[in-house]
Structure 1
Amino acid sequence: MPAPVPTSTTRAVVREFNGEEGWGVLDAPELPGGCWVFYSSIEGSGFRMLYPGQHVTVEYVDLVAEYGPEAEQDWYRYRAERVKPLPS
């Protein structure tokens, strides 16, 4: 079994989220260029959605550091593994 990929955690703000396609981008100083997020990484059950300007905690992977320079997700170096919306 392969070793788990190391993750980091930070607070971020939702830049955009496409509810129809289920993906979006988070911004934080630790995530230059943004962090790609898919709805399945959002904590909760049922229909999960994020909104521009919403604050979240994100556990993320630096794909380039782990897999090399060609390992971006839809042109984003960082991919969210777990996202927890914070109370407003």
Structure 2
Amino acid sequence: MVTATVREWHEEEGWGVLDSPETPGGCFAHFSDIQGPGFRTLSPGQEVELTWEAPGFKQDGYDYRAVSIVPRSSG
């Protein structure tokens, strides 16, 4: 897992984009790909722990796809 920051999150539409040093250009996240608690309430600027994969093709314009997102505690 790496630390990432939520760039944008569209809860009603079911997707978002996360940024980390290991996912240049952004990491696409879709609800159907996410395993982990708290992902539905993410907000821009929030830090999360991210596990990603590079599917070998662009998914919705991004080279990386999230497979696990866990919100970091704020304490």
TM bucket (normalised to shorter chain) is 0.7 to 0.9
Q: How many residues align?
A: 73
Is it true that 1:79 corresponds to 2:72 in the alignment?
A: no
> What's the Cα RMSD here?
1.7
TM-score by length of 1: 0.75
TM-score, scaled relative to structure 2: 0.86
Tell me, in whole angstroms, the C-alpha distance in 1 between the residues paired with 2:35 and 2:45.
Answer: 16
Deviation at 1:44, TM superposition (A): 2.1
Pairing 1:17–2:9 present = yes
From 24, 36, 40, give the equivalent of 1:43: 36
Q: Describe the SS at the equivalent of 1:63.
A: coil
Percent identity between the two aligned chains? 47
Q: Whole-Å Cα distance in 2 between the matches of residues 55 and 39 of structure 1?
A: 17
Unaligned 5+ runs, structure 2 = none
The alpha-carbon deviation at position 42 of structure 1 amounts to 4.9
